[in-house]
Amino acid sequence: MFGGVDYGNDGLEYRWLMDREGTVSVTIGLDHDGNHYSIGLDDLVVNGKLGVRQEIRSSGRSWRAIQQAIASHITWIERLHSRLIAPDAVTLIEEAGGRKHAR
pLDDT 10s digits, 5-19: 666 678 999 999 988
In terms of Cβ atoms closer than 10 Å to its own Cβ (0-12, 13-18, 19+), residue 30 is: buried
User: What pLDDT is stored for residue 3 in this prediction?
Assistant: 55
In contact, 60 and 3? CB cutoff 8 Å: no
pTM for this predicted structure:
0.88
pLDDT 10s digits, 67-92: 999 999 999 999 999 999 999 999 99
Domain ranges of the chain: 3-102
Distance of CA 49 to the CA centre of its chain: 15
pLDDT 10s digits, 21-46: 889 999 999 999 999 999 999 999 99
Whole-angstrom Cα distance, residue 46 to residue 6? 23
Say if residue 54's pLDDT is above 90: no
List, as one string, the DSSP characters of 52-82. -GGGS--B-SSHHHHHHHHHHHHHHHHHHHH
